[in-house]
Amino acid sequence: MAAAEAAISPAAKESGRENGDPRLDEARWRPVLRLSCRLTVDVPLPGFKVKDLLELRAGSVITTGWRVNRNIPVRVNGTLIAWGEFEGAKGRLAVRVTDLA
């Protein structure tokens, strides 16, 4: 037990973070929560042309080269943060995060 306690930094003990209190994590992240970021899901679209892009409408279906059972990369500002899978949700296409990078 003493070895585990020694691994916790004095600053973490002082702030209460050694207990994993989610309120403290939220307070720590609060200054950046409203910053904009670009979330992308990278899916290969073989043979996709500008013509195809211009023809997209609500409800359009796009064929991809990605296998259904294969996880897709999820990036924030170009940095891989997670892997996910496509899922239907309330008539919309969604990405469920399956693994954090």
- Which pair of tokens denotes residue 5? 């306690």
Task: Decide which of 17 and 39 is more confident.
Answer: 39
pLDDT tens for 28-81 read 888 888 899 999 988 878 888 999 989 999 888 887 777 777 888 999 999 999
How many angstroms separate the CA atoms of 48 and 63, rounded?
9
H-helix or E-strand containing 53?
A: helix 50-54
Between the CA of residue 64 and those of 5, 44, 46, 81, what are the distances in Å? 51, 6, 7, 22
- How far is the C-alpha of 30 from the C-alpha of 61, rounded, in Å? 38
> How far, in Å, CA of 42 to CA of 65, rounded?
12
pTM of the model: 0.58
| Predicted local distance difference test score (pLDDT) of residue 55 | 93
Q: What is the arithmetic mean of pLDDT over 18-23?
A: 66
pLDDT at 69: 72
Domains along the chain with CATH numbers: 1-35 (no CATH), 37-101 (2.30.330.10)
